[in-house]
Amino acid sequence: MKPSIALCGLALWAVGTVALRFGGQALLQPGHATRILLVFLVSFPLMAAIGRRICRRFGLPREQWMEGAVSLALPTLLLDAPASAFFPVVYPNMAPEAAGIFGGWMLWCCAGVFVGALVSRPAPHG
């Protein structure tokens, strides 16, 4: 594990949690399938790009990017599982029915980070 990247992941988790406490009710609305689908579609490539950027910024060699991705995603995986289980307490501003959407979204975001670490860009031809 890369502790400095895990701390970065913890900071991202904290910022995301605060943002959802203030505005999550506008983002994750049960019954608004189009909006939820859009959130999922935007989040996956965004998280892949963020994961890649953080691995680069921390100077990780390419062969260590998956370790970096795990370190980055670990705070979300560990802390959002109980947040999903106790969703109405953690996110009183959101409908309790959004707990499943939230849990799936967090898994989707972590998958984006992992795929970003796995997929390499093709070498330029020239």
Asked if residue 41 belongs to a domain, the reply is yes
Kindly report, residue by residue over 33-53, the tens digit of the pLDDT. Answer: 999 999 999 999 999 999 999
- Does the pLDDT of residue 122 top 90, yes or no? no
| 101 is a domain residue | yes
**Verdict on whether the full-model pTM lies above 0.85:** yes
Question: Residues 6 or more apart from 87 whose CB is under 8 A from it?
Answer: 94, 96, 98, 99, 102
Domain that holds residue 64: 3-118
Binning pLDDT at 50, 70 and 90, where does residue 93 land?
A: very high
Question: What long-range pairs does 47-52 form, CB within 8 A, spacing at least 24?
Answer: 47/109, 47/110, 47/112, 47/113, 47/116, 48/112, 48/113, 48/115, 48/116, 48/119, 49/116, 50/12, 50/113, 50/116, 51/112, 51/113, 51/114, 51/116, 51/117, 52/116, 52/117
What pLDDT does 25 receive?
A: 92
**Overall average pLDDT of the 75-90 stretch:** 96
C-beta of residue 1 within 8 angstroms of C-beta of residue 71: yes
Place of tokens 């995603």: 73
Within a domain: 50: yes
Residue 62 lies in a domain: yes
Q: What are 13-35's pLDDT values in tens digits?
A: 999 999 999 999 999 999 999 99
The pLDDT value given to residue 2: 87
Number of domains the chain is built from: 1
In-domain check, residue 125: no
126 domain residue, yes or no: no
**Which of 29, 9, 26 lies closest to 79 in space, CA to CA?**
9
